[in-house]
Structure 1
Amino acid sequence: MKVFSCAGTAIGLAAAVLVSGTGYAEDGQSFDTKAALGEALFFDVNLSKNRTQACATCHNPDFGFVDPRPTDAGLAVSLGDDGVSLGDRNAPTASYAKFSPEFHRMEDGNYRGGQFLDGREPDIKGQAGGPPLNPVEMGMPDKASVVDRLKENAAYVKAIDALFGEGTLDDNETGYEAMKASLAAFEETDLFAPFDSKYDRYLRGEAKFSDQEELGRLLFFSQQFTNCNQCHQLKTSQVSREETFSNYEYHNIGIPVNAAARAVNGQEEGFVDPGLVNNPLVSDPEHLGKFKVPTLRNVAVTGPYMHNGVFKDLRTTVVFYNKYNSKASGAQTNPETGEPWGGPEVDGNLSLKELEHGPALDTKRIDALVAFLKTLTDKRYEHLLEE
């Protein structure tokens, strides 16, 4: 069963300070830490088959670590290194990804954590090894081919020998693991999780919320008026300074098929994304159509939304949730299309307990929630709110 995640064809305008114009790190450079080596690898297009795509292509640091490139499916899915293949899932942000716990089954039988939208890799290191070998992403045929690309660069060879042991690249498995570990070390740096949004500054007493933002904050954390924090709160305190706004569990919230993406990405007719059941550790059909709850950090600048990018606007996503509690005609209409919401791609195991919690929201409260969500934008991306 083939399921796509993130893919791309050209490194963006991200500050690839360690990479030359050809995509290689300069031979004269040295990397004293795994994170420094991982930074160079993150921007290196030579780790893709046609030397056109790097990790930063689909997780561009200038755009909240998502893919800003339009395709025939808009921004919903990404284009592969071959210049033809389109994915079926939206590339999730890599920001704050390190906080997702390792994938595991909880006592109640549900699952939590992991990387990718279905948790199929237990941690960041595992995730880093996926895209280079995915045929619709970076397209490398095997680990040996990736290691050969690493060995093309003397700076990489020197660094890997120093950081992982002499001759690490002589074995394809240990060489590939070294690449994964270096990328993971880079993704664990504060660049990916600065905790410096307006919300964070508000908690530190360095910023004030507008009345609308404060109403949104109160609604978000309310146990009575919304269902937001049932899934989008990790810490027990409402003023935790390292809140990532996800409990990293899995839910089916009734997202419709992204027909526009399916029309151009070549996915077979009748295909249903199994969600969590795509994870090799999960087979029970009661988990069909469930996807990992994403972080809301930088959510206002990392659209489109939902696992398949079906909604373009952040406000649309809030209105979508509201449809479960409001019988008003407006709540039953997708504001982006003017048509009724499409039916769930996977029906029958919706998280209705969470979705139907709380009363319907009026326009004022919907707008307040959107205003609060915008305060979760890292400082370096706040200019994107204006754009």
Structure 2
Amino acid sequence: MNFKIWIGLLLFPLLIQCNSKQSVEVYKFEPLDSISFNSTLIQLGEKLFFDSRLSLDNSISCATCHNPSLAFSDGLLVSRGIHQRSGKRNTPSLWNVKNQDKFMWDGGVKSLELQAIVPLQDTNEMGGLITNLFPKLSDVDFYDSLAHLLYDRNFDPFVLTRALSAFQRNIYQENSEFDDWKLKGIVKDSGMVRGFNLFKDVLNCTQCHGGNTFTNNTLENNGLYAIYMDEGHFNVSLDSLDIGKFKVPSLRNVAVTSPYMHDGSFENLYETILHYEKGGKQHENKSILIESFTLTESERKDLIYFLQSLTDKRFLK
């Protein structure tokens, strides 16, 4: 048996993350069936997600911008990378990404495996070529042992991207006040029900923010600007009809993932609602679904209450 595989199997219960800045965690060995395979891959992805060695200068990790306590967003207008460099766009939440087929605000990446490479190589984010991470990362015994255990190969970009994507697909839960109502009939406040009915039946917001994930996974121009400095999906397609089109985000945990829009231009939910009430700015590509409407202050409160009810209970603390 390959020596590294043997060591990995023998010491797997005691393997710990090699980043001394983080708490020590002991891993429990499980039989290598399909379930434990996925569990082990997810654990590897989680360790990588929090490892600052993925950045060029070892200063930031994926979790720096995708903070678990903020539903895997960061609360900033735009992301902040190595050397305190400002990114180009607001950091989107990773909540429920397993149900999505477009990534990045412009929808230019089609899989989580490919998406992982983008921030790693962006000079304003993690800062280097993915090839430069190796052998730095493959020399970490924990990573190399699990790579052999899982794929019978050295730790390389293939294993890195598969593990990160596996962890991100595991960031999924529907355990909110709204779900208590829909699944159990529990209503904490009737304002939530009024807000949802307003959202769905009166304003037809579900045309873009529908289903359990509250997104249709499409690209839309929502009239944010009359002239777009960041032209969205046009940067990918070079089709003028795509100017100003950005990914429709999920509204799950929206109350804890401010600021909003691709550039963080709205500080809170109230400002965001006012934008849609006004029907957005005039732009030739603006979605026909964006039309002005009028709400009373009481209706705005109900609508905001409903949006807040989509917050997973782990964040209510």
Shorter-chain TM-score category?
A: 0.7 to 0.9
Which of these residues, 217, 229, 233, is aligned with residue 248 of structure 1?
A: 217
Q: How far apart are residue 25 of structure 1 and its match?
A: 8.3
Aligned-pair distance for 1:152?
2.8
Instruction: State the secondary structure of the residue aligned to 2:316.
Output: helix
Aligned twin of 2:167: 186
Instruction: Spell out, residue by residue over 1:260-307, the C-alpha distance to the aligned partner (whole angstroms, 9 max, x if none).
Output: xxxxxxxxxx9821201222xx22111111001000000011000111
**Distance 1:215-1:28 versus aligned 2 partners, 3 A rule:** closer
C-alpha separation in 1, matches of 2:307 and 2:173? 17
Corresponding residue of 1:380: 314
Compute the displacement of 1:88 (Å).
2.3
State whether structure 2 residue 59 is matched by structure 1 residue 52. Answer: yes
State whether structure 2 residue 126 is matched by structure 1 residue 147. no
Q: Which residue is 1:21 aligned to? A: 20
Contact 1:25 1:153 in 2 (8 A): no
Residue number in structure 2 paired with 1:78: 79
> Does the 8 Å contact 1:58/1:65 carry over to 2?
yes
Aligned to 1:349: 285
2:209 partner letter: H
Distance change (3 Å), C-alpha of 1:182 and 1:148: same
SS at the partner of 1:217? helix
> In structure 1, how many angstroms separate the alpha carbons of the residues matched to 2:119 and 2:249?
19
Tell me the alpha carbon deviations over residues 105-144 of structure 1, each in whole angstroms, 9 at most, x when there is no partner.
xxxxxxxxx111111110212111211111100002x222
Instruction: Tell me which of 202, 211, 218 is aligned to 2:190.
Output: 211
- Whether contact under 8 Å (1:78, 1:86) holds in the other structure is yes
Number of aligned residue pairs: give it: 294
CA distance in 1, matches of 2:18, 2:269: 34
Structure-to-structure mapping, 1:90-239, within 5 angstroms: 90-100=90-100, 102=101, 114-140=102-128, 142-166=129-153, 168-169=154-155, 175-189=156-170, 192-205=171-184, 207-222=186-201, 225-234=202-211
Q: Secondary structure at the match of 2:136?
A: helix
Q: For the structure 1 residues 227 and 206, does the alpha-carbon distance in structure 2 shift closer, same or farther, using more than 3 Å as the test? A: closer
Unmatched runs of 5 consecutive residues or more in structure 1: 1-16, 69-74, 103-113, 170-174, 235-242, 258-269, 325-340
Percent identity of paired positions between Structure 1 and Structure 2:
33
Q: Looking at secondary structure, tell me which structure has more helix per residue.
A: 2
- Amino acid corresponding to residue 272 of structure 1 in structure 2: M
Structure 1 residue aligned with 2:34: none
Aligned residue in 2 for 1:275: 232
Q: 1:290 to 1:25 in 2, by over 3 A?
A: farther
- Which letter maps to 1:158? S
2:261 is aligned to 306
**C-alpha contact (below 8 Å) 2:223/2:290 kept by paired residues:** no
Q: Is the 8 A contact 2:82 2:124 kept in 1?
A: yes
SS across alignment from 2:266: coil
| In structure 2, C-alpha distance between the alignment counterparts of 1:227 and 1:19, rounded to whole Å | 50
Deviations 1:309-336 (A, max 9, x none): 0110111101110012xxxxxxxxxxxx
CA distance in 2: counterparts of 1:319 and 1:366, whole angstroms? 9
What is residue 371 of structure 1 aligned with on the other side? 305
Q: Which residue of 2 aligns with 1:39?
A: 46
1:201 maps to amino acid: D
